[in-house]
A and B are shown apart, each in its own frame.
Chain A
């Protein structure tokens, strides 16, 4: 980036709150329903209807606010934000203006090996609009179609302070925010389904200048990398405008992911006149300490804390810990496996992590499955690792067992039993096989005795073959060495 200028970036995230029903009526929020089937007189804005607030939406928003270290306002008020659009049945959106639920929080992000604190200005509750369809397949329509299933789904609007300075900051912020919200289970954050959307405000100023430059609002960035790309482009564009003696216009620009440019939407001379006023149909919400403390208790362990705990309690490396906690479902899986294994043996923490990162994730990826869809249940992985630690099976055999577990969903004890894979650890039995193998390999014995120590490997191999891989490798090694000493 240009050394003369610095960028100032603020992000507005709209995240759909994970409730079963809409925020002001009892219609389902199901994403996969046919168009206009999750509708009712209230969310289609028929004459005479009135909104009734969904308590769970408030609870989940407050939970998010607490995790982002916001102050939860004692009194919160709903306001009408007025504008006309066909996806907005009442032609006003019930939102919040003066008294939002949460304010003045922060989120720490890791960038360039350090930690940056990004301020959260506010989080407020509002209803989502419907969907407009402008084309069917490749055919562009000369009219628009409206689907009101999405109208009324609760959104948290999370507004950051303009504390970000680079597109990388923005990407890190979004990644951290998304991860946190997924941990809190207050939103699905599925960006492809439009449940986690981001608009950016970006301006540039000469390095050292205190005042902010004129900002542009960027819309239509549908992935985190899209946000980053759009910001890179826009910052450069603004720099070029200024360098060429031009002025930045305050406007809304849309990101074109195909052409990889931002384009001006119809430039507005005035800021939007939304004519906010308190919604007379909805009474204020007063939240006391009891309510807030109850929600605080429900907050699960947050990613950063969980990571540190796994490192200290289970001896995981930074890398492994990072992988494990990156996805709450994965972290849950790990701890379930660990719990099962711990009942059967000690010190399984690192090994389980290893199995997950080297064996399980790869297989899941190829089969295009998520951890939640894993055919290997967490308890079973735990048992598998316990079997290795106890010496019931060898690491190599375990890999075979794991294959069966993954393909057939069986539990390890069953596989081991069915295939008779229990490791042979009986000294007498191993001695017998070893003696056989030694007797069958006179040439190799000679080489070994001549000083080629690595030749023992071939006899080990033979022992393993004879025992169908079940002989305890450490014992085999020891016994062979003893035998060959004679």
Chain B
């Protein structure tokens, strides 16, 4: 019956080609937008404070301090200030962060000539208290209380919220469109559905063509959204490179998520609509 479902689903698509194109676009655009948003979020992750819960203050320690002494110092700090969240940023992560903003440092970092100071990040509700650490001998410098990380984080969070809301609303409209379309097709094919039931067709046989008719625009939407997000991110990456920032690329997991959402969401809408229709048919 899979062949029947595909053949009949294609017939439905042919008869309603305009609706299927609109559905593919309606699904593809918000999913592409969400994909770009997620990519930028991941790109900004290491350099921006995206949590927004507390202030993050950077504390640079003297490079000469040995690792054992450094760990002891951090442990004491955590004991003295239980409300602080103290974490050590590894050398490799610090190098990655520096390279993100200053890509030309990559060669220097790789050569091993650069000795990076140890960086400790302190998350706290009261960043003023952290400035007291400046007097300690182990401390090289204490970063600003409102770091660029926080500013970037604030901007990124607001952008994420706006993009998220727009994507959600557009996606909800697209899913609703899929549900309404299936609903209308069921009414258009009501006689056929009744006949199919009467001659012994299972619900799977009846639903198959409608699911195919929704899954195909969903798959097209997936391709559109992947192409859209790759193109947009590529443009943003060129802009970032021109500003001396590191390149941006869409993570494969985001691409997979986009394709899955494009196919799964309209299918879910169709399954719910078909199940409701089936339940109504039982009642009547």
Is B one of A's binding partners?
no
